[in-house]
Chain A
Amino acid sequence: CEGSVGLYFPQNQYKETVYVGQSAGTPVLQVHAMVESDSQRPHFYLCYLRPPTYAPWFHLDETTGILSMNKTLEWSDFDSAYKFWKLPLSVIAATRPLKKFLCGLSHPTVQVSLTFINDTAPPCGQTRPELKKLCFPDKDLSSHIKENRFPGALRQLRQLTRLNVCPNYTISYSVESDVPAPFAVNDNTTELVVTAPLDREERETYSPMLICTVQTDTMIDKFFVTLHINIYDEDDNAPYVSGTDTEDVVLEFDRKQGSSFGNLVVYDRDTTPRYPKSQSQNRFVGNMMTNDSWINEMFTIEYSFKEEKAIFGNVRGTVHEFRLALKKDLSVTEYRTLQLDYLVNDTTYPHPEGTVMLHYNITILPVPIHFTNVTYLFTLTRRANVYSQVGRICVDNSLKFQGINVTYRLAVAEKTENVSDDVQSCNAAISIAQSLKDMVGVLYVNDTEALRRPECQDLQYVVIAQEQQNLLQASTQILIVLDNDINKQGLEDQRFLSCAKGRQRGDCENIRGLGATTGRCQWRQGSAKGISESYSTCSPDLRTCPDGFCDAVESKDASICPQDCTIEPVIGGHEKGIMSGIRAGHGTCYCYSEKCFCEKDDVEEAMCDEVCKTIIATAV
C-alpha cells in the first residue's frame, strides 16, 4: 500500500446513465486520480469482492481511467422487475500496476454509480435544454483538491456517453474565474486541469465558471455553469502564540476540584477536524514538564480547541486553549509559588518546530479561617416564633469560598458554675443551621419557651467555625439582645400555624406563624397581572420567604415556607421553582400543609356549590 501514497480521487463519486442500445466500445465516463509527483502515474482497476452479474459489461482502461462498454446493451439485459437499475461499481487507483485487485483499505477507492434506463438513448436535440445536456451533467459539479500537491488533470468535461449523439456539433470548453485561479482546459483531452499547487491557508474554495460552446454550421451557443472546488487541508503550519506564552495565576478563595484558571491560547492556521474522533490531524498533545508528584497530583491542563475564521484572514484556522485546573480540593494552609511548564506538540506537523512551551506562574495563597475581630450583635423580639431567622454568621471571605468547607456550631459563652439551671436553659433559645448554598451559619429561634421567660435576659454564645479538611477552628462571640416586651398571652399558646395559609392581608397579619420574626405573619401584596414572581402571599419573614429558595431553616419544617419548599403539585396558574416551591404564581398563592394553590381572589365559588344550589333550589 505504500505504492499508493499520495494518490487520491478528486471526486467523491461518479454518476452516469446508460441506455439500451449503447454499443460495445463506446466510453461512459472517465475517472481521475491526483498524483504526488511528476513521475507517478495512476493505474485504475474495477474492483470486486464478488463480481456482480453485470461486471463483464464494462471495461476500465488501466492508464486513462476511461470506463467503456464491453458489450452492446440489449433489451434483455434489463431486469424488468425494476423501473431503472442501479449498477454500482468500485474503482481503485494505484501507483504501480497490480495483478490482483481486491477492494480494500490499502488503495484509494471511488464509487461509480451507473443508472441503467429501460429505453434507448435520447436522440440529438436542438433546444437549449437539450444542448445544455450535451455540455454538462445535471448535478455533481463539485471536486476537491489537496493543498500543496502536484498539479494535474481533475475531471473530464465532455459527457462521454453523448459524444456520438450529435456528430455534426463541435463542443468546446473554457474556464474563467473572477479571482486568480490556476485552472485551465486541456483542449486536446477536454480535461479540466489544475496548473499549480494550491494553498488552503490562502483560499479554501474556488468557484470557476465553466463555459461550453456548442457550434454547428449554422449556429453557435454558449452555456455557463459554476464549478465548486474545495481545497483540502493538511498540517503544514506550526503552532504559535500571539503575545504571551506565560500566565500568572493566583489561587486563593477558589480551591475547588475542577475549577480552572488562566487561559493560554495557541494558534494554528490549520483546521482540526472533530470527526472522525480517531483522526489525528492537527490534534495537539501536551505534557506537564515536571516530575514533582505534588504538582502532578494537584494540577492538570484542560485542553479544548475551536475553529475561528476572522483572525486568520477569513480562512478557517484553529484556536487551541489550555487552562490550568485543580484535580482535587486544595488545602487552605497551602502556601507556595511554583512555575509549571507545559509543552504543546502539534504531532502531525512534519517539521521540527511544531512545539510551543507554555508557562503558568502559580501563586497559592493560604486562606486564614477567622472572624473579623468584633462581637456580633443581633437584636431579637421575644415575640419571635420558633424557626425565626435571627442573623447570619460567617468567617471572613466565606462568600468567596469554593472547595473550602466550614461548619458552624454554637457553644455557651461563659460556663459559670454558680448559674442556676433555669438560666442555663435559656441557651436553648437559639440554634444554628448550616446554609445550603454558601459557607454561612444561620441563627434561628429554637425554643420560644426559653425566649419568653423573663429570667432569660440577653443571650450570649460563642460560635465555633471549623474548616473540614484541616480541622482549623475560629471562634467569635455573639450577643443577642432581647426586648422587654414579654407577651403573657403569647406564652400560653405554644401552637404555631403556617403563615402560608393566610389568603388575605387581614387573616395573615393575625396568624402567629411558624418562623415569624415579629411573632405575626407578614403580607406581601402583589400588583402584577398574570403569573408573576411577586404574587400575593402570607409569609413569616418577607426577607427570606418567598425568595424562590428553600433555605436551611425553611427546610427544617415544611410549614415554615411551603411557597419555597413544597414538592407537591401546585394547583392553579403558576411556574414551578427549580428544585422546589413556586417561582411565580397567579394572584394569591396560599398553602394548606404542603399543598399550595394559586388563584385570583375573585374566583371563589367552586363549581359544585353552584350546581348543588341549583339542585336544592329545584328540589324545593
Chain B
Amino acid sequence: EQRMKPVEGRGCLLKEVHLNVTDLGLGYRTKEELIFRYCSGPCSDAETNYDKILNNLTHSKKLVKDTPSRTCCRPITFDDDLSFLDDNNEDYHILRKHSARKCGCV
C-alpha cells in the first residue's frame, strides 16, 4: 500500500493558462478572470511492469473489448478555492478543486 503514492514522471508537468471564468464552460456569467493550472505531459517513464503487460495484452488482442486505463498525468493536489461575483452582482460562487497545484503520474 505504501508504494501507491504517485510517481513524478519527468514529462508530466504543471502548466498554466490565463482565462476568463466564462471560458471554463460552467455556465457562470461574470467578468472575473483566473489562472487555470493543469497537468500535461507523458507518463511513459513512470510505467511499471503492470503497464508493459497491459500494453502487450492490448496489442496481442488478449483483452477482448476492454481497454484498461494507463498511467496518466493528473493533479495530486488542487489550488485554493476561487470565489467570484456573478454579473447580477447578487450571487457569489465558489469553485472548489478547479485547478491543479501539483501533478503526478497516477
Which of A's residues lie within 8 Å of B, judged by CB? 529-531, 569, 572-573, 575, 586-587, 598, 600, 603, 607-608, 611-612, 615-616, 618-620
Q: Chain A residues near B70 (CB, 8 Å)?
A: 612, 615-616
Which of B's residues lie within 8 Å of A, judged by CB? 25-29, 38, 40, 42-44, 55, 59, 69-70, 72-74, 91, 93, 96
Known A-B contacts: A607-B38, A612-B70. Give 13 more (CB < 8 A).
Answer: A530-B27, A531-B27, A531-B28, A569-B96, A573-B27, A586-B26, A600-B25, A611-B72, A615-B70, A615-B72, A618-B42, A619-B55, A620-B59
In the assembled complex, the Cα of A368 lies from the Cα of B61 at a distance in Å of 78
Q: Chain A residues near B38 (CB, 8 Å)?
A: 607
Query: Which chain A residue lies CB-closest to B22?
Result: A530
8 contacts between A and B (CB under 8 A): A531-B28, A575-B91, A586-B28, A587-B27, A608-B72, A611-B73, A612-B70, A615-B42
- Asked whether A586 lies within 8 Å of B42 as measured between CB atoms, the reply is no
- Asked whether A586 lies within 8 Å of B72 as measured between CB atoms, the reply is no
Question: A569-B96, A575-B91, A608-B72 given as contacts; is B26 within 8 A of A619 (CB)?
Answer: no
In the assembled complex, the Cα of A607 lies from the Cα of B98 at a distance in Å of 13
In the assembled complex, the Cα of A455 lies from the Cα of B91 at a distance in Å of 55
In the assembled complex, the Cα of A620 lies from the Cα of B70 at a distance in Å of 14
Q: Chain A residues near B25 (CB, 8 Å)?
A: 573, 600, 603
- Asked whether A530 lies within 8 Å of B72 as measured between CB atoms, the reply is no
Q: Chain A residues near B93 (CB, 8 Å)?
A: 575
Query: Which chain A residue lies CB-closest to B12?
Result: A611
Query: Which chain A residue lies CB-closest to B24?
Result: A573
Q: Chain A residues near B28 (CB, 8 Å)?
A: 530-531, 573, 586
Q: Chain A residues near B29 (CB, 8 Å)?
A: 530-531
In the assembled complex, the Cα of A611 lies from the Cα of B12 at a distance in Å of 11
Q: Chain B residues near A612 (CB, 8 Å)?
A: 69-70, 72
Query: Which chain A residue lies CB-closest to B40?
Result: A611
Q: Chain B residues near A598 (CB, 8 Å)?
A: 27
Minimum distance in angstroms from B47 CB to a CB of chain A:
9
Q: Chain A residues near B27 (CB, 8 Å)?
A: 529-531, 573, 586-587, 598, 600
Minimum distance in angstroms from B42 CB to a CB of chain A:
6
Minimum distance in angstroms from B24 CB to a CB of chain A:
8
- Asked whether B44 lies within 8 Å of A619 as measured between CB atoms, the reply is yes
Query: Which chain A residue lies CB-closest to B74?
Result: A608
In the assembled complex, the Cα of A530 lies from the Cα of B26 at a distance in Å of 8
Q: Chain B residues near A618 (CB, 8 Å)?
A: 42, 44
Q: Chain B residues near A586 (CB, 8 Å)?
A: 26-28
Query: Which chain B residue lies CB-closest to A531?
Result: B27
In the assembled complex, the Cα of A572 lies from the Cα of B96 at a distance in Å of 10
Question: A608-B74, A612-B69 given as contacts; is B44 within 8 A of A573 (CB)?
Answer: no
Q: Chain B residues near A575 (CB, 8 Å)?
A: 91, 93
In the assembled complex, the Cα of A569 lies from the Cα of B96 at a distance in Å of 9
Query: Which chain A residue lies CB-closest to B70?
Result: A612
In the assembled complex, the Cα of A311 lies from the Cα of B44 at a distance in Å of 82
In the assembled complex, the Cα of A619 lies from the Cα of B59 at a distance in Å of 11
In the assembled complex, the Cα of A498 lies from the Cα of B96 at a distance in Å of 26
Query: Which chain B residue lies CB-closest to A600?
Result: B25
Q: Chain A residues near B59 (CB, 8 Å)?
A: 620
Q: Chain A residues near B26 (CB, 8 Å)?
A: 572-573, 586
Most interface-central of B26, B40, B42, B93 (chain A CB within 10 A)? B26
Q: Chain A residues near B43 (CB, 8 Å)?
A: 615
In the assembled complex, the Cα of A620 lies from the Cα of B27 at a distance in Å of 38
In the assembled complex, the Cα of A135 lies from the Cα of B59 at a distance in Å of 101
In the assembled complex, the Cα of A586 lies from the Cα of B91 at a distance in Å of 15
Minimum distance in angstroms from B25 CB to a CB of chain A:
6
Query: Which chain B residue lies CB-closest to A528?
Result: B27
Q: Chain A residues near B96 (CB, 8 Å)?
A: 569
In the assembled complex, the Cα of A608 lies from the Cα of B43 at a distance in Å of 12
Q: Chain A residues near B69 (CB, 8 Å)?
A: 608, 612
Minimum distance in angstroms from B41 CB to a CB of chain A:
8
In the assembled complex, the Cα of A445 lies from the Cα of B62 at a distance in Å of 49
Q: Chain B residues near A616 (CB, 8 Å)?
A: 70
Minimum distance in angstroms from A548 CB to a CB of chain B:
15
In the assembled complex, the Cα of A600 lies from the Cα of B25 at a distance in Å of 8
Q: Chain A residues near B74 (CB, 8 Å)?
A: 608
Q: Chain A residues near B42 (CB, 8 Å)?
A: 615, 618
In the assembled complex, the Cα of A598 lies from the Cα of B27 at a distance in Å of 10
Query: Which chain A residue lies CB-closest to B96?
Result: A569
Most interface-central of B25, B27, B38, B42 (chain A CB within 10 A)? B27
In the assembled complex, the Cα of A608 lies from the Cα of B38 at a distance in Å of 11
Q: Chain B residues near A587 (CB, 8 Å)?
A: 27
Minimum distance in angstroms from A587 CB to a CB of chain B:
7
Shortest Cβ-Cβ A-B pairs, 9 listed: A586-B27, A573-B26, A573-B27, A531-B27, A530-B27, A608-B72, A612-B70, A612-B72, A615-B42
Minimum distance in angstroms from A90 CB to a CB of chain B:
50
Query: Which chain A residue lies CB-closest to B93?
Result: A575
In the assembled complex, the Cα of A618 lies from the Cα of B96 at a distance in Å of 33
Query: Which chain A residue lies CB-closest to B73?
Result: A611
In the assembled complex, the Cα of A569 lies from the Cα of B95 at a distance in Å of 10
Query: Which chain B residue lies CB-closest to A572?
Result: B26
Minimum distance in angstroms from B31 CB to a CB of chain A:
14
Q: Chain A residues near B44 (CB, 8 Å)?
A: 615, 618-619
Minimum distance in angstroms from B80 CB to a CB of chain A:
15
Q: Chain B residues near A620 (CB, 8 Å)?
A: 59
Minimum distance in angstroms from A616 CB to a CB of chain B:
7
In the assembled complex, the Cα of A611 lies from the Cα of B25 at a distance in Å of 20
Q: Chain B residues near A573 (CB, 8 Å)?
A: 25-28
